[in-house]
Amino acid sequence: MKIGIFDSGLGGLIITRSIIAKLPKYDYIYLGDTKNLPYGSKTPRQIFEFTKIAVDFLFEQDCQLVIVACGTASLALRQIQNEYLPNNYPDRRVLGVIVPTLEVADKNYRAKRIGVIGTSATINSHKYRQELTKIDKTAKIYELATPKLVELIEQNALPKAKNALKLYLKPLQEQGIEALILGCTHYPILKREVRGLMGGKVAVISPDEIIPDKLAGYLKRHKEINKTLSRGGKKEFLVTKINPGFKAVAKRLFGKKIGLRLVRLK
C-alpha cells in the first residue's frame, strides 16, 4: 500500500519533494485539487467536503496513510480523524501539518512570541492558536492572513508574491516575534525571502523541513502501519486541473518535467 499526499494545489509538492528525499523507498501518490483552489476562500463546510472526497479518492488508490499537506485542509483534520475514518476506514490513517509544526516551534526554539501567516480560512479559524494553547499555555501567537500569496504562487508569479510578502510581514516585525510559522504549504517556496526579511533573530519554521522527520518518527512508532507500505520507489502525481503555472513550478521543484495525470473526483 502507498503513502498519499494531498493539497489544494502545488504547495503539497514542496512537502512531497522533502518527504521523498527523506524516505525514498516508499511508493507515493500526490493529489492536487487544482480545480477547486484556493481553499483559503472556502467555508469550513466546503473545506471538509473537498478534503473528505480527496482522502476517499486516495484510499481508493490503495493508500494506507494520507498526509494532508495543506494548512487550510488541515482545518478538517479532526473531523476526518474522529468521525469519517472510524465509520469508513478504521484501519487507515490521516495526518496533518499544524500540530507537528507547532511542536517544533515550541520545543526546538522555545519561542514564546510566535507569528503565523496563512490563508484567510486558516487564520480566521484560529486553529494555530487553539492547538498552541494545548502545547504551551504561556506562549502567545500572532496570526496574520496573507490571502494573495497562494494565488500568486500558483500562477508562478513569484516576483509579485515577493513584493506582497514585504507588505504582509511588517505588522509581525513590529510585534517582535521570536519565530514565524509558514502556515500554508505553498509558502516554503518563499522561505528564503521570508528569512531575509525577518532577519537572523527570528526562526522561520517551514513545514517542508519538519514533516519528513515527523513522518519518519511516526512510521518508526507505528510498525503496524509501516509494514503495510510498499517500497518500490514509485511516484504518481495526480491533479484535478492542469494549469501552466502548476506545471512550471512543478518542473522547477523537481528539476525536470513530472508526469501529471488528470483525474476527476466525486
Catalytic residues, by residue number, are: 70, 184
**CA–CA separation, 211 and 22 (whole Å):** 10
How is 125-141 classified by DSSP, letter by letter?
A: HTHHHHHHHHH-TT-EE
Closest CA to 80 of 58, 104, 103: 58
CA dihedral 102, 167, 151, 81 (to 10 degrees): 20
Are 235 and 30 contacting, i.e. CB atoms less than 8 angstroms apart? yes
Residue type, 101: T
Give the three cell numbers for residue 172: 509581525
The residue length of the chain stands at 266
Q: Is 4 helix (H, G, I), strand (E, B) or coil?
A: strand
